[in-house]
Chain A
């Protein structure tokens, strides 16, 4: 349009006969600004007020670095395990017909619907040394509750639906022709999955992984009950923010909050780049 005229306008709008563009855009922007962008801006402004030196002197504290490390590795572990099981669940729910499939499909969304505090006390009771699962694992010398493994379990619970629900529609849409052709040419089921289905699912799986990772990094409610909360071992960054706020250390909380924002945006950016690379490679 405007490009064909030889100059591109930075702001453009396709003409429409529908009314209400200006008021709806204004309300959207104002509401977004008041609830989301404004408060985030205030946090960044407070962080800027600390100066680089102040910012880094808060972050250089061993407890902050230790907790960041705990948050990162547990979130990665939980999202990786869930990428496997989430893909399995999504595959089984879309590809096979078996009794109870609809019930199982509805149940996948339980972590979306169940409040995190409820999940937290339920998981910590299940995995405590005398709990239903804990007492089975205790003779094997495996403890999950009040260790970093407990954090991973809680993160897996809250992030499972992100992977299943992102991958499921893609599996539903897979074309049968390629798989059938491969089967006629003698490929095994596993080969067909690995060579044909998986590459097509991969971009969606990465998206699901990214969503799960973001959720795991930010999760608080379900983790604090099961984690043990020992600094640098089983304490996550969001809990450290709460601890700082309880001591009215606003500067510390702000700096760590900004750090968390930066980390999650860097991770999401990295996964977007990875995804673009996968799409290019498989021509998807």
Chain B
């Protein structure tokens, strides 16, 4: 079929191409969409910073200069520093298994990996309590050995790992499937060992998708609230993450301080969005292949 670059209107008899009327329809649609986004996305972001700075910069900094806030930052970082690498290692191994080989039960495996996406974070916390809590499955044994998991850091790490479980795997499995095995098979025939193939061929192919998954996983791990709140015991200054500190402060009517801590998390979100947009812009084709594949399933 001959492809014309002229707009379709040019062919219509009673619509001369030169006097194009103002596109009222698209303008209305664009305004509505942007208005909706301003109301639902921009305003919540703005109010965080507006409330945080409502008493001036000095008060803002004073609210953050608090040992409890420092401890919350520290705990948040520790949780992310364990949960994210754990999910990266798992994601890469699962991607190797699922994308490089064809075997029965592959789709079931993908469904199981996706499971935490459709489970409430509160249930994720509940699961850890049922396993490790005082009356839980392993509770008595842990009690005898003086190991505390619930209302302590290990439980919070486990709950966060559950919630962020699919984030990395779900980004790189479709990407690896899309890329195929040609390079890996060529490497085998040239005599490369398994580890050489993995480090020199597979991992470099996946790096941008992997980075993308890490970004999303990290944002969720640092911001997780429901799952962590169930298992943390909410001991302010001891087992509070930044998200939990926001709740503690807000519930004790220290609104400005709550928003000051919230502004740290909002900045993390903005950095995540900027990096994500930059990655998408530079590696558009690769990441779009993933989106398309995910949308098709």
Contact = CB atoms under 8 A, between A and B. Distances in A.
A248 B133 CA distance: 10
Nearest to A246: B230
Interface in A131-168: 131-133, 156-157, 160, 165-166, 168
A93 B113 CA distance: 31
A160 to B, nearest CB: 7
Interface stretch (B34-42, B60-68, B140-148): B34-42
B93 interface: yes
Contact of A238 (B34, B120, B128, B265): B120
Interface string A32-58: 100111011011001000000000000
Interface residues of B, number: 105
B188 interface: yes
Nearest to B50: A132
A32 B105 CA distance: 14
A101 B268 CA distance: 22
A18 interface: yes
B127 A40 contact: yes
A218 B120 contact: yes
A107 B273 contact: yes
A35 B89 CA distance: 14
B262 A117 contact: yes
Given A89-B33, A169-B292, A115 B222 contact: yes
Contacts of B103: 11-14, 21, 25
12 contacts: A11-B103, A89-B36, A96-B29, A112-B219, A115-B242, A117-B246, A121-B258, A131-B47, A160-B41, A177-B1, A184-B11, A204-B295
Given A18-B197, A88-B33, A132-B47, A10 B104 contact: yes
A113 B262 contact: no
Interface of A: 10-14, 16-21, 24-25, 27-28, 31-32, 35-37, 39-40, 42-43, 46, 85, 88-89, 91-93, 95-96, 98, 100, 102, 104-119, 121-123, 125-126, 131-133, 156-157, 160, 165-166, 168-170, 173, 177, 180, 183-184, 189, 204, 207, 211, 214, 217-221, 225, 238-239, 241-242, 245, 248, 250, 253-254, 257, 260-261, 264, 268
B96, B123, B269 pick with most chain A CB within 10 angstroms: B123
Given A42-B137, A125-B51, A221-B121, 12 more contacts: A19-B194, A27-B90, A28-B97, A42-B131, A92-B29, A113-B272, A115-B246, A116-B226, A118-B246, A125-B255, A156-B40, A218-B120
B239 interface: no
Contact of B194 (A20, A100, A221, A253): A20
A133 B39 CA distance: 9
B185 A218 contact: no
Contact of A13 (B104, B224, B295): B104
Contacts of B96: 20, 24
Contacts of B222: 115
A194 to B, nearest CB: 14
B27 to A, nearest CB: 9
A12 B105 CA distance: 9
A132 B46 CA distance: 11
A98, A104, A221 pick with most chain B CB within 10 angstroms: A221
Contacts of B243: 115-118, 221
A125 B295 CA distance: 35
Contacts of B224: 115
Contacts of A260: 120, 123
Given A24-B93, A107-B41, A18 B292 contact: no
Contact of A114 (B45, B104, B158, B276): B45
Contact of A119 (B44, B101, B219): B44
B36 A122 contact: no
Contacts of B56: none
Given A110-B41, A114-B45, A242-B122, A207 B295 contact: yes
B225 interface: yes
Contacts of A170: 295
B98 to A, nearest CB: 8
A261 B269 contact: no
B33 to A, nearest CB: 4
B246 A14 contact: no
B44 A42 contact: no
Given A218-B120, A241-B122, A116 B225 contact: yes
Contacts of A37: 112
Top 8 nearest A-B pairs (CB, nearest first) are A115-B223, A218-B120, A221-B225, A220-B226, A24-B97, A39-B127, A113-B269, A13-B103
Given A89-B37, A113-B273, A121-B246, A32 B120 contact: no
B129 to A, nearest CB: 6
Nearest to B158: A35
Given A113-B269, A118-B262, A132-B43, A220 B101 contact: no
A17 B265 contact: no
Contact of A218 (B37, B121, B158): B121
Contacts of B197: 18-19
A18 B219 contact: no
B226 A27 contact: no
B97 A21 contact: yes
Given A106-B273, A117-B247, A122-B48, A92 B118 contact: no
